[in-house]
Structure 1
Amino acid sequence: MTGQTQLVEMINGQVTTTSREVAEVFGKSHQHVLRDIDGLVKQIGGVQNWTDPSTVGVIKNEQTPIFTEETYIHEQNHQEYRQVRMNKDGFTLLAMGFTGSKATQFKLRYIQAFNEMEETLRSQPALPTNPLDQIVLLAQGTTQLSKEVGKLKNKVDELDGNQVLNSARYEYISKAVSAKVREYANVNNLNYKKVNGELRHDLNRQINEVAGVKIRRDLRDKDFDTVTQLISIWTPTTATIYQLKQMELEV
């Protein structure tokens, strides 16, 4: 879905989305979306299934989890909060309760995103993992086969690179931003609490510009190395430095 926020992503072989993404797209409070999911969990799986240690945080449909508990790191306060990941079935179940013309449009966008990702996966042939099968494949190789494998690898690399950062990498970026801002303030003898917001805004703006995203949460795997290098050499823009000097002059 070119030009749009990535609504779905591949996790453990399933096309999924999150409660936060749903809340953002549908213009709802994330807490309200979590409340709706919790209500569905009680209706479908029952509290016992939800709290069973063997299936904690999961409601299953034919052995496939449709709702799974996760956590994420908040971009601003860096605290850990709850979110729920869901597959297509989980989303469909949740979205049944969303009404209105705009809600219908958003549902259609999601359905299209799920279908496109699933179609992409179906169209990709599976490469053998058994060593013997791999040898046979190599023995049967031709120039055309090599080209096709090369094309497939490029597709897989592109798909992987376009996935949004996982929670561990995103947390690493967040901590690196905080550390760099504090370092700059200390080296330049600035009041960290006073200038923290301006410096952080400047660095995040440069990160988004380099990665070609609107918000840092949209960073992709392929942006990780570039962003970490940028953070390591970052200095504020002239406009930000001027603003900091003005702030220092304020009584």
Structure 2
Amino acid sequence: MNELEITELNGKRVLTTQQIADGYGTTNKVISNNFNNNRTRFEEGKHFVLLVGEYLKEFLHSQNLGTQNKIRKLYLWTEKGALLHAKSLGTDEAWDMYDILVDTYFKVQEQQVPLTLDQQIAAIATGYGSVKEELVEVKDRVSDLEENAPLSAGEYNYIGSRITQRVNEVAHGYSSITQKQRGELYKDINRGVKVVTGISTRTQLRAKHFDTAMDFINNWEPSTATKMQLRQTSFDFEA
């Protein structure tokens, strides 16, 4: 357990099926069967996240697993998902390991802010330190927390869905299009999202990036270079 590798998605810790299997003293197949046999109990976004396509490629790249091309889909389990597996398996080993996961792996170090923002300001006004300096510090901390809050699973998935929709909208401008050409369109729009938000992989998106990313996606058109690539393969593009 001390050597358990940290796996994160969108700034939150998760576990792969292999990690759960190893920790609970069982196999991937048992975990997969447990999931399939109790499918109605598991809720996507709450207990697990399923990565496929471009999401999966970016995640594997962010985890330095880009060479594992045979992976077509990947389940990542949240703390609540790990709990459901422990409940379903019901073994002492699974429960013992779950307790360890909660106490160590999933434990988030809470920021110690004993007072609310209004209470802190009131304390400052009554002589708790320098009014100006303390107030600025509180505001900066609140602002930083808001800007760097991770995207919710719904927001993250919505961005992916909107990218797919926009690519399909642009693809309709072609008389016909191959899978390879569609892939070039995906590369172009994903590259643009990274540029306008200043990130290297989509998993680094934060709440502060959402509006910028959506504005870019909604107004995206392929770059001149991408258009030329597609023309060179003799498919007409309607500008």
User: Do the structures match in fold with TM over 0.5?
Assistant: yes
Counterpart in the other structure of 2:111: 121
Alignment of 1:121-140 (within 5 A): 121-122=111-112, 124-127=113-116, 140=126
Asked if the contact 2:148/2:208 (under 8 Å) is kept, the reply is yes
Counterpart in the other structure of 1:166: 152
1:221–1:142 distance in 2 versus 1, CA, 3 Å: same
CA distance in 2, matches of 1:222, 1:128: 21
Counterpart in the other structure of 2:13: 17
Higher strand share: 1
Calculate the TM-score normalised by the size of structure 1: 0.55
Residue deviations 1:161-182, cap 9 Å, x none? 2233221110110011001101
> Is 1:248 equivalent to 2:225 in the alignment?
no
Secondary structure of 1:74's counterpart equals: strand
Query: Shift of the alpha carbon at 1:31?
Result: 3.0
Calculate the TM-score normalised by the size of structure 2: 0.58
Counterpart in the other structure of 1:202: 188
CA distance in 1, matches of 2:202, 2:127: 43
> Is 1:72 equivalent to 2:66 in the alignment?
no
- Amino acid in the other structure paired with 1:72: V
CA distance in 2, matches of 1:148, 1:235: 47
Asked if the contact 1:186/1:192 (under 8 Å) is kept, the reply is no
Higher relative contact order (CA 8 A, sep 6+): 2
1:205–1:92 distance in 2 versus 1, CA, 3 Å: farther
1:234–1:91 distance in 2 versus 1, CA, 3 Å: farther
Asked if the contact 1:163/1:221 (under 8 Å) is kept, the reply is yes
Counterpart in the other structure of 1:182: 168
Q: Aligned residues: percent identity?
A: 26
Task: From 205, 218, 228, give the equivalent of 1:219.
Answer: 205
1:240–1:34 distance in 2 versus 1, CA, 3 Å: farther
Residue deviations 1:214-243, cap 9 Å, x none? 211111111111111111111112221111
CA distance in 2, matches of 1:217, 1:9: 5
Asked if the contact 1:70/1:85 (under 8 Å) is kept, the reply is yes
> Is 1:191 equivalent to 2:168 in the alignment?
no
Structure 2 portions without partners, runs of 5+: 1-5, 27-33, 57-72, 81-95
Query: Shift of the alpha carbon at 1:126?
Result: 2.6
> Is 1:238 equivalent to 2:224 in the alignment?
yes
Structure 1 portions without partners, runs of 5+: 11-15, 20-29, 41-46, 58-67, 95-109
